[in-house]
Structures are given as structure tokens and as C-alpha cells.
Amino acid sequence: MAVRGDRATGDTGSPLAGRLNYLFANMHPPGAPYTNAHVADEISRGTEEYGGVTLTEQYLSMLRNGKRANPSPDVLRALAKFFAVPVGYLMGDLSAPQTARVEEEVRFLVAMRDQRVRAIALRSVGLPPEVQDSLTTIISQFRQQMNLPSDPPAAGGEERS
């Protein structure tokens, strides 16, 4: 499964824009990523759920392209709630290990969109640890034979064949 997007802040130079674009590219249901219009509508319609924030498609676009980089804490809380990440991730308040943990969870969710990956993961549940280790070794050997990186790509990147 190809994953779109880029972890880096991109051409905008804005860390917030980079984080938002990363979430847009990766945190969506199977199929197409969310649009600015969809996210703005969902947040604006769910007034109680999102703290009464009203968000426009245009403002969200400006946040994503770096033209606006200092939204109110309420807007950041609403966006964090929508994408199910800690608000500190969007604010840039997390430590490097905490940020890495959020991004690891995003990579996991992206991987779990693939039905085959889910099936492999679920079939390994309940097996003894030594069998799970053997399965990990076998998968690593397959990856090596196919000239793939030993670890899966980070979310936002694409594997090359």
C-alpha cells in the first residue's frame, strides 16, 4: 500500500503545516485522504464535540500551506481531536520521544488499513513469543530477498520496489 505525504515540513517551512499535512496524508479512512472542506465542515458542524470552533476551508488551507502558522489553542485542540492526536503534537510541545511515539502510532494505523497486514497481525496473536520472533525473522528474510528495507517505511514515505 502506498502512503502519500511527507513527514518533513515541506516547502512551507512551517512545522505546524508539516504536521498537518502529515496527518492529512496519513490519518484517514481507507480510500482518499480528507479534503480541507471535509475537515472544516466536520469540525464546524460538531460544535460541542470540537469546542464550538468554526473553521473554514480557506483558513485550514492557509494553515497547511504555511501562510498562517499561529492558530488559536481552540483550533489546535479541535484539529487534534479530529485526527486523534495529542494537541501537543500540533503545538510542537512534545518531546522528541513523545513526537516519535505519536508518529509510530500513525504508521501503525496506516499499516492496519491494509487487510492483509491486519490478517497477518491478528493471526500472530496468542502465539508463543518464540513463534512470533520466528515469524518476524521470516518476514525480514522475505523483505531482504525482495530488496526492501529491513523495516517498513515510515508513514508518509513510499516503499520503492
pLDDT in tens, 25-74: 998 887 788 999 999 999 999 778 999 999 999 999 999 999 998 999 99
Q: What is the pLDDT of residue 12?
A: 54
User: How much is the pTM?
Assistant: 0.72
Q: Is the pLDDT of residue 1 over 60?
A: no
Q: Is 86 left (phi over 0), alpha (psi -120 to 50) or beta?
A: beta
pLDDT in tens, 87-123: 999 998 999 999 999 999 998 888 888 889 889 999 9
Q: Is the pLDDT of residue 157 over 70?
A: no
How many angstroms separate the CA atoms of 2 and 161, rounded?
Answer: 11
1-161 CATH pick, 1.10.260.40, 3.60.40.10, 3.40.50.720, 1.10.4030.10? 1.10.260.40
CA 100 to chain centre: 11
Beta strands (DSSP E) in the chain are none
Cell of 107: 504508521
How many angstroms separate the CA atoms of 143 and 159, rounded?
Answer: 11
How many angstroms separate the CA atoms of 97 and 93, rounded?
Answer: 12
Residues whose CB is less than 8 angstroms from the CB of residue 61 and which lie 6 or more positions away in sequence, other chains included: 36
